[in-house]
Amino acid sequence: MKSSILLITTTILLLAGCVYESPLTEKNTISIDPAVLGLWEPVPNDGEKADPNERMLVMNYSNTEYFIHHPVGKNGIYWRGYPIKIGGVSCVQLKALGTDEGPVPPSEKELFQVVSYRMSKGHLIVKTLNADLITNKLKGSDELKKAFLNHQDNENLFSDPSRFKKILSDN
């Protein structure tokens, strides 16, 4: 079981950027955006080929929650995602559910990620919460939310953009 948690934690850190032990918020009352449902493939940089192992599957879990598998290839992580709005910033709270090795055991720490997204010219652009502004050393949701609100107007609040194009629609 310990190796499974180590694999999940390592995979998240490598693939998803800064991981938090507390959610920014647990409220999930905002409706999901149907435009992001489907199978997405990364848009490669000039001269590169798209890696099918880096695809992202976004499905409707409920009216207010996504079920996300990214990357869909080896070492993929299953996420529960839900739209949130903190201060004036809309984003998506993600909670790691597990990998192909199994779920995150209840005895282990929960792992969260916060991302923003926008649609541009048929592409989905996803950015992660900037760890240089919002450190993962913060303890608890209250500290995380306070730090987030202190930086909500910073244009670099989210960083490391990934660009995807839809290859299969879920709606």
Is-above-0.95 flag for pTM? no
Q: Which portions of the chain are predicted below pLDDT 70?
A: 1-17, 170-171
Give dist(CA 4, CA 53) in Å, integer: 20
Write down the pLDDT at residue 4.
47
Give dist(CA 17, CA 137) in Å, integer: 14
Q: Which residues contact 142 (CB under 8 A, 6 or more apart)?
A: none
Phi, psi of 137, deg, nearest 5: -85, -5
Write down the pLDDT at residue 133.
94
